[in-house]
Amino acid sequence: MALFGFGTVGRSVARILVESAPAGLELTHIFNRDVARKRVAWVPGSVTWTEDADAVLDAESGGPDIVIELAGGLEPAGTWVRKALVAGRSVVTANKKLIAYHGLELESLAAAKGAHLLYGAAVAGGIPVIPGLEHGLAGDRVERIEGILNGTCNFILSKMEAGADYAEVLAEAQKLGYAEADPTEDVAGYDARAKLAILMRLALRVEIHPEDILTSPITEVGAIDFAYARDLSCTIRQVARAERVDSRLAATVRPMLIPLASPLAWSRGTENMVITTGHYGGDVVFSGHGAGGNPTAVAVVSDLVGLAQGSCRISIPSTPAKVSTELEVPHYIRFMVNDRPGIVAAIAGSLAKENINLNAILQKPGFPLDRLPFVITVEPCRTSALKRALKEISQLPALLEAPLDLQILEK
């Protein structure tokens, strides 16, 4: 086997292979840029360290029969994976972006060449959600899937729930290695979006482009929102959600208010959680560590063990589909205003034009009147109707910033 990428996860994979020595698996090559700085004494001397990817992939005699791709990203990882599959070598990867954007193409290539493509580590780290969907739930008809798929955002939001400031927690996450120097992929929802696209193909059996999934960032959520959420017996998490609504397929990644009674509210730190709702089997919860070298490495090595034992993925048929953002759910809307008479009446009037009913109005004391936050919750309404109402409300002179709109997850 050749290991491409000796970062956090790659190092953990190598450690497990060396210490546990699973039957039928032998590490022969480690590829990494500037490989000299990566060398460690605990890797056996029989392993070849190299900076030449082509030399490993082009080798016929003595070349690896399995390539483990842990470099991430679309390129050059995509080129390496295609080259390995064309040569009839099986590939194990944790690359969610590559699988989300090119998974179907790569699976077809693997099948045509008599190879296997396994990616159990691509979603939710060490949680066996992909094997669970492929094997454990293959007999059900999954109608909804929702979860916390990004450990960085969960770390940030659960720390903010305890009273920390966003900028402070982001800096801590970067220091701990949970967040990149540019955290956009995580906090804007793009990482979770790619993972949701993979889960939708396996659970809902639909093929969608990841960028068709609407995302909203967590960056607009503030401490005041957690205070109001507590008053509503809720917390706030970044939730990836997809479901069939009548004949439509709706999908989104965004911060949402989560009732404290929901399992999703129990997830803390870098933990991930996925909940599937099946037509026959009902709710199934997958939970565990979704980030870090060791949990993800366990999923990678589990795929490798499966290959060594002759197991293969179940082929799950899927069909192209279009994604809608139209849902009918309750919403939490936080306003920041320069207080004056008639603000609530004007807001209520705009909502009424779209047949949206108010549920509650919350206003905490102690804030200056020239920068006053207050919250309105509304009964379940169509996304498009609320969008029109908020567009009109945003024109109010008293508004100091755009309203923060968060869906409230119903169970």
The dihedral sign for the CA sequence 320, 326, 331, 332: positive
- Name the active-site residue from 195, 322, 353, 411: 195
Q: For residues 163 and 225, what is the distance between their CA atoms, to the nearest angstrom?
A: 11
- Structure tokens given for 46: 């029989």
Whose tokens are 């001397």? That residue is: 45
Q: For residues 17 and 12, what is the distance between their CA atoms, to the nearest angstrom?
A: 9
Q: For residues 193 and 209, what is the distance between their CA atoms, to the nearest angstrom?
A: 10
Could you give the 3-state DSSP secondary structure of residue 49? strand
Angle at CA of residue 102, ends 132 and 304, nearest 5°: 45
The residues near 222 (Cβ < 8 Å, ≥ 6 apart) are 166
Angle at CA of residue 350, ends 346 and 351, nearest 5°: 115
Does 364 qualify as catalytic in the annotation? no
Q: For residues 1 and 84, what is the distance between their CA atoms, to the nearest angstrom?
A: 11
Q: Which of 246, 249, 248, 223 is nearest to 236 (CA)?
A: 223
CA dihedral 286, 290, 295, 297 (to 10 degrees): 110
Q: For residues 123 and 120, what is the distance between their CA atoms, to the nearest angstrom?
A: 7
Q: For residues 212 and 389, what is the distance between their CA atoms, to the nearest angstrom?
A: 24
Whose tokens are 């995509």? That residue is: 78
The residues near 206 (Cβ < 8 Å, ≥ 6 apart) are 200, 249, 318, 319, 320, 321
Q: How far is residue 209 from each of residues 17, 78, 188, 215, 219, measured CA to CA in Å?
A: 35, 17, 17, 13, 24
Q: Could you tell me whether strands 248-259 and 234-245 are parallel, antiparallel, or unpaired per DSSP bridges?
A: antiparallel
Residues with a known catalytic role:
195
